[in-house]
Amino acid sequence: MTVAEENLAARARAAYEGGRLRWALGRAAVATALSAVALIGCPSQAAPAACAAALGVLVAACFWRGGAWARGARLGFAAGLAPCLLPAAARAAHACYSSLCLAMPAICVAAGVAAGLLLGWLGPRLRGHDDRRFWLAAASAVVLAGATGCLAAGLAGLGGMALGLLAGAAAPVIAARAA
Amino acid sequence: MERVAREALQRQLERLADGDRDAFHPVFVRLWPLLRGFAARCLPREEVEDAAQEALLRVFARAAEFDRRRDALSWVLGIAAYEIRTVRQRRRRRREHPEHALADRPDAGRSPEEIAVAADLERALGEALATLRPADAETLLAYARGERPDLPGPTFRKRVERALGRLRSAWRLNHDRR
């Protein structure tokens, strides 16, 4: 390569990284906006809002990096939508009337199970599932998205979601080993 | 482009869209001559390099958006064609508003000889303009100043073209006499 071509390659590389970052930030903004729906009617918004912001940063970083990181974050976010939005849906449906809602931990457990099932069933079918980075990104995204919705129910909600998630994710793995 | 090269470009662009930085160099090496050749078919030589570079940078800036279901070559050439159209439009606008082109030109200190030649040309142009009908001269002066009389665009353009044709004839006549 000539010097001019090397210079052009450096500019092209910068354009690629810049374009990739813009693209990732666009997707992160969508993910943050979707998870922010969980804040509607939430009695204490600070911690869930911090989780939504952290989710945005995680999605932006994973999508910018690409490969197994991006695929894992995409799956984790999709799975995390259930525990993220179900508590808000329950509030909207007036299943809870006060800030202390006894049904909320149960809702978080159920949503966690749904998210875990999706992770455990779909994850091993996706390209790059044998890469640790894929599962690290997926687990981080599902926990942050789920926490955005379930933190409204306090630590009981978060713990319930975590238990449900583990149970849901373990089920397809156990079924596959038994078969 | 041969089928094998086309398939290789497809695979490499898919990897680049997926975030595999190792695919950058092969894509660059494949695309740069391709885009330069494509621009050379559509633009005058002095504009080829700039347009091809712009197209290349745009392709890389949008590589993350590439959808693997699409044909890579068509996608790349679509972006390049858009860039080339932009270059053409810019050139046409420069031609329509010559005062902008003059304002953009760097002020290189002109030699006395160049000033004398320019003055000669200006005088000759004035003489040629004087031989035109007043309506034609007015049309050309309005066009040169970037003014638009109260006329529909196509009518004004036609008048400018006709007046320019007459100016050319007058110019040729004057120079033949000399």
Cβ contact A131:A77 at 8 Å = no
Q: With an 8 Å Cβ cutoff, is A26 touching chain B?
A: no
**Residues of chain A contacting residue B28, judged by C-beta atoms under 8 Å apart:** 9, 12
Would you call B61 and A16 a contact, using CB atoms and an 8 Å cutoff? yes
Residue B81 · residue A39 · CB < 8 Å:
no
CA dist A76 and A71 (Å) reads: 9
Does B65 lie at the interface with A, CB-CB under 8 angstroms?
A: yes
The winner for highest mean pLDDT among B9-18, B96-105, B161-170 is: B9-18
Q: Would you say how long chain B is, in residues?
A: 178
In this structure, the number of other CB atoms found within 10 A of the CB of residue B157 comes to 13
The answer to whether residues A64 and A24 touch, using CB atoms and an 8 Å cutoff, is yes
Say if the Cβ atoms of B28 and A12 lie within 8 Å. Answer: yes
pLDDT of residue A157: 86
Mean local confidence (pLDDT), A10-22: 95
Instruction: Find which of B25, B28, B34 to mutate to test the A interface (most A CBs within 10 Å of its CB).
Output: B28
A12 touches chain B (CB under 8 A): yes
Residue A66 backbone zone (phi > 0: left; psi -120 to 50: alpha; other: beta): left
Q: What is the mean pLDDT of residues A164-176?
A: 85
The shortest CB-CB distance from A66 to any of B19, B56, B60 is to: B19
Average pLDDT of the residues in B114-138: 74
Q: Is B132 helix (H, G, I), strand (E, B) or coil?
A: coil
Contact A69 B19 (CB under 8 A): yes
- pLDDT of A100: 58
- The confidence score (pLDDT) of residue B100 equals 58
B53 touches chain A (CB under 8 A): yes
Q: Helix or strand or coil: residue A163?
A: helix
Given a contact cutoff of 8 angstroms between Cβ atoms, the answer to whether A146 and A161 are in contact is: yes
From the list A15, A23, A70, which residue is nearest B57 (CB)? A15
pLDDT exceeds 60 at position A46: yes
Residue A26 CA to residue B55 CA, distance in Å, equals: 23
CB A148 within 8 A of CB A52: yes
Mean pLDDT is lowest, of A39-48, A128-137, B30-39, B69-78, for A39-48
pLDDT number for residue B174: 66
Give the residue from chain A lying closest to B17, CA to CA.
Answer: A66
The mean per-residue pLDDT over the stretch A38-43 comes to 81
Least confident span in A127-131, B38-42, B75-79, B134-138: B134-138
Q: H/E element holding A108?
A: helix A103-122
ipTM > 0.90 for the complex: no
If one compares A1 and B42, the residue with the highest pLDDT of the two is B42
pLDDT at B177: 52
Q: B57 at the A interface (CB within 8 A)? A: yes
A67/B20 touch (CB, cutoff 8 Å), yes or no = yes
pLDDT for residue B176 is more than 60: no
Residue in B19, B25, B57 nearest the CB of A67? B19
Q: What is the pTM of this model?
A: 0.70
How confident is the model at residue A38, as a pLDDT?
Answer: 86
B60–chain A Cβ distance below 8 A for any pair: yes
- Do the beta carbons of residue A158 and residue A123 sit within 8 Å? no
Where is average pLDDT lowest: A22-36, A75-89, B98-112? B98-112
CB of A128 less than 8 A from some CB of B: no
pLDDT of A87-139, one tens digit each? 888 887 776 655 556 788 888 999 999 999 999 989 888 887 888 999 999 99
The arithmetic mean of pLDDT across residues A55-76, rounded, is 95
pLDDT in tens, A50-63: 999 999 999 999 99
